[in-house]
Amino acid sequence: MQLLQLLSPDNTYWNFIKPYDVLTSYGFFYGYNHKMNTNRIHIYRSIEQPIQGEIVYWMSRDQRIDSNWAFTYAQQLSIEHKLPLRIVFTLSPVFLDATLRQYSFMIEGLKQVEKRATSLNIPFTLLLGEVVPTFVQYLQSHQIGAVITDFDPLKIKKIWKEGILSQTNVPLIEVDAHNIVPCKWVSQKVEFGAYTIRPKIKKNLDEYFESPPQPMQNVFTTSEVVNTTNWDDVYASLKVSNSVLPSKVYLPGREAGLKVLHTFISQKVESYGTLRNDPTKGMISNLSPYLHFGQLSAIECAVQAKQLAEEFPESVASFLEELIVRRELSDNFCLYNAHYDSFEGFPDWAKKSLNEHRNDKRDFIYSLEEFDNSATHDALWNAAQNEMVKTGKMHGYMRMYWAKKILEWTKTPEEAHTIAIYLNDRYQIDGRDPNGYVGVAWSIGGVHDRAWFERPVYGKIRYMNYNGCASKFDVKQYIRLQSDDLSLF
Ligand code: FAD
Ligand code: FO1
């Protein structure tokens, strides 16, 4: 019998265990009557009954146990079928040009995941090596009844999942634990922009605006002895550049992330609506590194922000617009546009316009090295680059200016796109994220934007300039803030 036939009559809800339905072998009762909407689920290979082995949560994008629908679903299967539950994280030695900066942020967060798993009596295994062969070997050497994993629209994750499906027979179920409204549910095509996905998200928001239940203490444990991770071996396994050091400004892990969330909610929400675009004021959440690595969930941020909606309606509305509409629009773009990371992925009007201006004279031309060393003629651009290199996170408003100037000061839009993605992903802690591919494509290729009046080099791509920034904030102050001695970082 297909597991999902346990659905409620209207076939949309999979009722978790009713209170006192499950008497565990230790005489505990599991009281649980939490609904997860099955529209969060995508079945790659369905689970046959009875399940033949342990339940694995293959953690990847959502690197937390709390507030995580993929974990919740795996734990419910374990309870429902009284089968051992495990968490496995497959750590790739390289990942889309990530450097030690991003890997250390992630690994320090995974240490906290292991601690939390241990406190819940859930074995946590971190596998080192090329992901597909390593995980295939693991699955073939254990009696695994089902693999539950989290959703990620990036192509590399699709390749990983296809590798597991083609080389093993394990049932594979994906749960969207990253988006408040599940990406595959809210739309089945590339959306033109925020204005087209916003109504679809809003229509569903009440139904999906719900926090996953608290994780439960695990009583169904494997007979295998699972050793704790040797974190020195983990760092030794990396084949990444050590030239970009961990940030000293944004501290890694869920505990630090919850503090950043608390600071935003208690001190910054009020000014977010009016000051979020002023990079000298710091009135932004700084949540993106924690959201990127899934150390925090979007829903827990949204729930806390929404509690202030009466007191600060505009600020909360603009924060939720970014956190839900803009962020989930990025996942939509990367899921349905295979060219999300190249010029090919730009809308036709933008490609046409950029092609028509391909031979326009560029007033300045810089190489990757000159950009990388903040060596342009523009102190404001250099300051934005400095902020990213030094701290690991460039202010959101400056990211737009920064990327658009790369378009203006390179020979071709393709070169601009390559340089922007490379530098973004090399230095931003939150790099290699759908938000980044879309942020660069919006800036350089008009993705999710409209055509503006035509000008040299940009064509109809929206233009930004120094004076425009100066009309919005104290650019000299921002430049001063970012011109500290780089050798300190
Ligand atoms: P806040 O303003 O506090 O926003 C809260 C959350 O909303 C963010 O954490 C993020 O999850 C989401 N959000 C905010 N703005 C956007 C946006 N424009 N698009 C999608 N989601 C958004 N974001 C990344 O996560 N990783 C990147 O690599 C990245 N690269 C970018 C590159 C360019 C050229 C541009 C224009 C934008 C990029 N963004 C990227 C999007 C955005 O700038 C960042 O998400 C934001 O600055 C993160 O800082 P914050 O959490 O303090 O943002
Ligand atoms: N996800 C994994 O499952 N395994 C990895 O080894 C891994 C490395 C990694 C390094 C840098 C980085 O920014 C992300 C990384 N991710 C890894 C993926 C990450 O969890 C996200 O899934 C995507 O980057 C965003 O969609």
Q: Is residue 328 part of a domain?
A: no
Instruction: Report the C-alpha gap between 175 and 153 in whole angstroms.
Output: 12
The CATH number of the domain holding residue 395 is: 1.10.579.10
Q: Residue 103: which of 288, 236, 291, 221 has the closest Cα?
A: 236
Instruction: Please indicate, yes or no, whether residues 358 and 227 belong to a single structural domain of this protein.
Output: no
Of 237 and 488, the structure prediction assigns the larger pLDDT to: 237
Q: How confident is the model at residue 484 (pLDDT cuts 50, 70, 90)?
A: low
Residues 6+ apart with CB under 8 A from 125: 86, 87, 88, 89, 138, 226, 229
The atom number, within ligand 2, closest to the CA of 430 reads 13
Give CA torsion, residues 163, 167, 171, 176, to 10 deg: -10
> How far apart are alpha carbons 434 and 190 in whole angstroms?
14
If asked whether residues 39 and 168 sit together in one domain, one would say yes
Residues 231, 361 within the same domain: no
CA atoms of 35 and 210, how far apart (whole Å):
10
For the chain, the first-to-last Cα distance in angstroms comes to 58
**Mutation choice for ligand 2 from 56, 58, 60, 244, CB with most ligand atoms inside 8 A:** 60
Q: Cβ atoms within 10 A of the Cβ of 467, count?
A: 9
Ligand 2: nearest atom to the Cα of 160: 3
Residue 25 has pLDDT above 70, yes or no: no
Ligand 1 near 424 CB (within 6 A): yes
- Mutation to probe ligand 2, out of 68, 96, 100, 106 (largest number of atoms < 8 A from CB): 106
* Contact by Cβ (8 Å): 161, 172: yes
Q: Is the shortest distance between the CB of 326 and ligand 2 below 6 Å?
A: no
Residue 472 has pLDDT above 60, yes or no: yes
Structural domain contains residue 96: yes
Contacts 24+ apart (CB under 8 A), 396-402: 396/276, 396/277, 396/284, 397/276, 397/277, 397/278, 397/279, 397/469, 397/472, 397/473, 398/279, 398/478, 399/424, 399/439, 399/443, 400/439, 400/442, 400/443, 400/464, 401/464, 401/469
| Any atom of ligand 1 within 6 Å of the Cβ of 417 | no
Q: Is the pLDDT of residue 129 over 80?
A: yes
Residues 354 and 220 in one domain: no
| Chain CA centroid to CA 142, Å | 30
Mean pLDDT of 121-141: 98
* Structural domain of 448: 342-483
Number of CB atoms found within 10 A of residue 200's CB = 17
Nearest alpha-carbon partner for 65 in 156, 163, 148: 148
Same domain, 36 and 166: yes
Report the distance separating Cα 196 and Cα 187, nearest Å. Answer: 10
Would you state the pLDDT for residue 88?
98
Indicate whether residue 382 lines ligand 2 (CB < 6 A): no
Asked if residue 130 is part of any domain, the answer here is yes
Ligand 2 centroid – CA 412 distance (Å): 30
Residue 91 CA to ligand 2 centre (angstroms) = 8
> Given this model, what pLDDT does residue 394 score?
98
* Residue 74, SS3 per DSSP: helix
Considering the domain architecture, whether residues 86 and 231 belong to the same structural domain is answered as: yes
Range 8-34 average pLDDT = 41
Instruction: Write the residue with the smallest CA distance to atom 45 of ligand 1.
Output: 288
The torsion angles phi and psi of 85, rounded to 5 degrees, stand at: -115, 140
CATH code where residue 223 lies: 3.40.50.620
CB 448 near ligand 1, within 6 Å: no
Atom 20, ligand 2: residue with shortest CA distance: 61
Is the confidence at residue 2, as pLDDT, over 80?
Answer: no
Secondary structure (3-state) at 105? helix
The ligand whose atoms approach the alpha carbon of 329 most closely is: 1
* pTM summary value: 0.94
Residues 88 and 218 in one domain: yes
Rounded CA gap, 268 and 266, in Å?
6
Do 233 and 99 lie in one domain? The reply is yes
Residue 129 lies in a domain: yes
Confidence of residue 155 (pLDDT cuts 50, 70, 90): very high
**Total domain count for the chain?**
2
Distance 310 CA to ligand 2 centre (A): 37
Q: What is the pLDDT of residue 48?
A: 86
Q: What is the pLDDT of residues 298-353, one digit of tens each?
A: 999 999 999 999 999 999 999 999 999 999 999 999 999 999 999 999 999 999 99
Q: pLDDT tens across 203-248, in order? A: 999 999 999 999 999 999 888 888 999 999 999 999 998 999 999 9
Please tell me whether residues 225 and 361 are part of one structural domain.
Answer: no
Structural contact between residues 135 and 278, judged by C-beta atoms closer than 8 angstroms: no
Give the tens place of pLDDT for each residue, 53-104. 999 999 999 999 999 999 999 999 999 999 999 999 999 999 998 999 999 9
Give the pLDDT mean for 375-402: 97
Q: Count how many Cα atoms sit within 13 Å of the Cα of residue 376 in the half-sphere of its side chain.
A: 23
Residues 6+ apart with CB under 8 A from 64: 71, 113, 116, 254, 294, 295, 296, 297
Q: Are residues 346 and 229 part of one domain?
A: no
11 part of a folded domain? no
- Is 84 in the same domain as 233? yes
- Residue 169 included in any domain: yes
Considering the domain architecture, whether residues 347 and 229 belong to the same structural domain is answered as no
Domain edge (last residue) among 237, 254, 272: 237
By three-state DSSP, how is residue 97 classified?
Answer: coil
Q: Which residues pair with 260 in a beta bridge?
A: none
